[in-house]
Structure 1
Amino acid sequence: MAPPSDPVNSTFALLQSSKTDNSFQLRDGKLSVRDFPLLTEIPTNVTFKPFSSVCQSSEAPLPLFQRANSLSFKGGFLGFTQNTSADRLTNSLGKFTGRDFVSIFRFKTWWSTQWVGKSGSDVQMETQWVMLDVPEIKSYVVVIPIVEGKFRSALHPGKDGHMLICAESGSTQVKASSFDAIAYVHVSDNPYTLMKEAYTAVRVHLNTFKLIEEKNTTTPGE
C-alpha cells in the first residue's frame, strides 16, 4: 500500500515546478533582470542564488511559505566570499549609473529617511533598501540588505557608480569570510506589490519578524 501523499510537500513541489526560470541571472560580471543588465562590473566573488535554493523550509505560517515559493522565480539572494575573516567586511555588489532609484537610509541610530539618486555612488551610508526603476521592462527591482548568522548588513556608496554592501557582527570576536544570503533582490511591475512580495520572502527566509497582516489590530480604548 502506497503511503499517503504529504499535502504540504505536494503543494511545495507544484509551486516549484510552476516556474523554472528565475527573473535574475548573474553571468560575466552582470546581474540581469529578464535579460536586461541591472548591475555591471560585479566582482567574481559575488554570488546569486534563487530563493527556492536557499529557503527550502521555514517555520513561517504555511500560507506565507506557499506565497513566497509561488513567487520565488521573481527573486533571489546575493552573497560574497573574501579571503580573510573579519568582523566587518565590505564588498561591491556591482555598478549602476543613469538609473533612478529611491531608498531609505539610517542617518541616526533610531531615525531613517528617504533618498533618491541615479547611481551606486549616490547611495547613502547605512541604506536599508534601494528600489531601482527598470523602464526597459516596465518594472522595479528592490535590493534589501539582510541578516545572515550573526552579521547585519547595509548598503553603502562606492566609487564610479559602484554600490557596496557592508556586513558586520559588532564584535571583534565574531568573524566570517563568506555569506550565501546577505542581500535579497526582487522584481515586480508594481512598486507596492514589489515591497509586499519582497518582504514576504525575507520574512519567510529569516523568520525573525512578522508582516503587518500577521499582527492583531486593536480598537481605540483597548
Structure 2
Amino acid sequence: MTVGAGISLSDGKLTVYGKCVLRDVHDNVVITAASSGSGNALMDGAFIGVRSDQMGSRRVFPVGKLEELRFMCVFRHKFWWMTQWMGASGKDIPFETQFLVVEVCDDTHIDEGSTDEANQSIRYAVFLPILEGDFRAVLQGNEQNELEICLESGDPAVDKFEGSHLVFVAAGSDPYDVITNSVKTVEKHLQTFSHREKKKMPDILNWFGWCTWDAFYTNVTAEGLKQGLDRVHEEGLYLWNIVIEL
C-alpha cells in the first residue's frame, strides 16, 4: 500500500520514495493516508497504527527494525525536561521519544534536472507520536533494533484504545519543510492546538527579565540574588520581571 509523500508499506517494509526505513514490519502494523488538503505531496503523509485485541492502560507494540540509518530525536529524560539524542539503529532510540527524524539515503533516487545529485538523493522521514482518544503515544527502541510504540492512558481503568492513528510519518528532501508541514497536518487532524505561525507573540517577550537558572542553576541564595540585581543596576538596566527557579 502506498500513501502520501511516497510512503509505502508492503512485504514487511516501510519505505519512503522507494528507500526502506523500517524492515521486518509486524503484520499488525497498518498505515492510513493523511492529507493537509493542500495537494502538495510534501504536506501529505500517513498515520501508523496497530491492530490488537490487547487491553491495558500501557501497551508496547514493536513496529519494525531501524538499522544503519542516522537519526536525531528529542526525548523526555526528566519529568519536566527534554533533550536531543542521535544514533543509527533502533536500539539507540531512548524511552519517551516524542520526535524522530531519520536520514534516508538512496543513490538511485535522483531528481530529474538536479545539479546536486548527492543532496537530491537524501530524504528525511519524520515520525511524530501523537494523542489518540485517552491515550498518548511515544517512541522507543529495543535490543532487536525495533522501533516501538508505547501507548499509555495513565489510568488503569482506561484500557481500551482504537490504535489506528498513533504516529504520523511524512518525508521529503528538506527536513525543515517536512517538520513544519508534518506539524500542520497533525494540527488539522487533532484540532486541539495551533501551529506557531497562527499564534500572536505575547507582549511579555518585549520586556527584559532575568531568570536565576542561567546564573545559579539550583544553588539560589539571597546573597547571589542581591549580587545579580546589583550588577543589573550598575549596568543601568531595568528588570520587568524576575523568575526565581529552584
With the length of structure 1 as denominator, give the TM-score of the two structures.
0.80
The structure 2 residue matched to 1:162, chosen from 128, 135, 146, is: 146
**Aligned residues: CA RMSD:** 1.9
212 and 108 in structure 1: CA distance in 2 versus 1, 3 angstrom threshold: same
The structure 1 residue matched to 2:8, chosen from 22, 25, 48, is: 25
Mapped partners of 1:72, 1:180: distance in 2: 22
73 and 211 in structure 1: CA distance in 2 versus 1, 3 angstrom threshold: closer
Kept in 2, the 8 Å contact 1:83–1:177? The answer is: no
The structure 2 residue matched to 1:175, chosen from 136, 141, 159, is: 159
195 and 151 in structure 1: CA distance in 2 versus 1, 3 angstrom threshold: same
**Counterpart check, 1:98 vs 2:74:** no
Mapped partners of 2:43, 2:197: distance in 1: 23
> 1:139 Cα deviation (Å)?
1.1
User: For residue 77 of structure 1, what is the aligned residue in structure 2?
Assistant: 47
In the alignment of these two chains, the number of paired residues is: 190
Question: 1:12-161 alignment to 2 at 5 Å?
Answer: 22-52=5-35, 66-67=37-38, 70-71=40-41, 74-136=44-106, 137-161=121-145
SS at match of 1:181: coil
Bigger-Rg structure (1/2): 2
> 1:175 Cα deviation (Å)?
1.2
With the length of structure 2 as denominator, give the TM-score of the two structures.
0.72
> 1:177 Cα deviation (Å)?
5.0
Mapped partners of 1:38, 1:178: distance in 2: 25
Mapped partners of 1:141, 1:22: distance in 2: 10
Kept in 2, the 8 Å contact 1:103–1:115? The answer is: yes
Mapped partners of 1:71, 1:135: distance in 2: 19
Amino acid in the other structure paired with 2:87: G
> 1:72 Cα deviation (Å)?
6.9
Give CA-to-partner distance per residue, 1:44-79, whole Å, 9 cap, x none.
000011104xxxxxxxxxxxx544x54477410000
81 and 66 in structure 1: CA distance in 2 versus 1, 3 angstrom threshold: closer
24 and 216 in structure 1: CA distance in 2 versus 1, 3 angstrom threshold: same
Structure 2: which 5+ runs fail to align?
A: 107-120, 208-239, 241-246
Amino acid in the other structure paired with 1:79: G
Percent identical pairs in the alignment equals 31
Mapped partners of 2:77, 2:4: distance in 1: 38
Amino acid in the other structure paired with 2:90: G
Q: Which has the higher contact order (CA 8 A, sep 6+)?
A: 1
172 and 135 in structure 1: CA distance in 2 versus 1, 3 angstrom threshold: same
Give CA-to-partner distance per residue, 1:70-106, whole Å, 9 cap, x none.
4477410000022221111111111011100000000
Kept in 2, the 8 Å contact 1:50–1:72? The answer is: no
Kept in 2, the 8 Å contact 1:84–1:177? The answer is: no
173 and 21 in structure 1: CA distance in 2 versus 1, 3 angstrom threshold: closer
User: For residue 57 of structure 1, what is the aligned residue in structure 2?
Assistant: none
Kept in 1, the 8 Å contact 2:13–2:25? The answer is: yes
SS at match of 2:144: helix
SS at match of 1:201: helix
Mapped partners of 2:83, 2:184: distance in 1: 22
Give CA-to-partner distance per residue, 1:187-209, whole Å, 9 cap, x none.
01111111101101111111111
Per mean C-alpha deviation after superposition, the further-off stretch among 131-140 and 21-30 is 21-30
> 1:38 Cα deviation (Å)?
1.1
